[in-house]
Amino acid sequence: MLVYPSGVDVSSSALRFLTQQLRRHRRAIGSRWRRLSAGCHALLTLAHLRVGHTYAQPAAGFGIGTTTAYRYVTEAVELLAALAPGLTDAVRTASEKAYLILDGTLLPIDRIAADRPFYSGKHKRHGMNVQVIADPFGRLLWASPALPGAVHDIRAAREHRIIDALAEAGIPCWADKGYRGAGGTVRTPCWGRWETLSAGQQAVNRPHAKIRALVEKAVTTLKSWRLLCKLRCSTTRITSLVQAVLTLHLTSRD
């Protein structure tokens, strides 16, 4: 395999943060020697998450085995995932916001036709459902654990207790038609085709659509980590990957 110099569009603050966490983790477990330093370990993980290469490609670049690269990435991802904020923490942080925006996104996976629980009829492909909460500027605040793609957005929101948490905090939340009937503080547009809506209903739906569209910025932020654009791993690991990306985003933003 050929090796060439390359770059990765990740902030240096994310690299410093992950390096510090890995150093603390190594001291905590009493790890005396590693093939890669904590800094290179962090860089390997960030490159894998951001670019989405297979383990063999970064392993060749860092001069380690594929199995070693897998272990290093898994260790760092689990460490980051454990630092991700929970829903309660995210809602508490967002309590001063005027409102929040809720939406669901599908993370594509390489499943076969027989894996019906992972097939999304809405998106016509296999994937994992992840709920995203954004602030009024479209900045990513929280991402949920992953559920099979066949799960509808409103069911996913209820399983994660997003609706109850927002209602308890009294925070208004804007969402699309997929959350119709959610209740609580969730606001959805008027139901029906545009041409069948009354003038008043159309007047309500226009600003609602403009506000809700900002959540796409949060979804784009999540999927800018290109590993999440085509997941080839076990579905049991996807939640950890999403939570790790969330931690890196919030850390680099702060």
pLDDT of residue 254: 60
pLDDT band for position 122 (cuts 50, 70, 90): confident
Q: How far is CA 32 from the centre of its chain?
A: 33
Q: What is the pLDDT of residues 55-64, one digit of tens each?
A: 999 999 999 9
Q: Which of 207, 95, 107, 177 is nearest to 148 (CA)?
A: 107
pLDDT of residue 113: 61
Q: How far apart are CA 152 and CA 149, in angstroms?
A: 8
pLDDT of residue 114: 60
Tokens 């951001």 -> residue: 50
Element housing 186 (H / E) = strand 186-187
Q: Above pLDDT 90, what percent of the chain? A: 67
pLDDT of residue 172: 93
Q: What is the pLDDT of residues 179-215, one digit of tens each?
A: 988 888 999 887 878 778 788 888 888 888 899 999 9
Tokens 């925070």 -> residue: 171
pLDDT band for position 162 (cuts 50, 70, 90): very high
Q: Which of 166, 203, 164, 205 is nearest to 188 (CA)?
A: 205
Which amino acid, 113? A
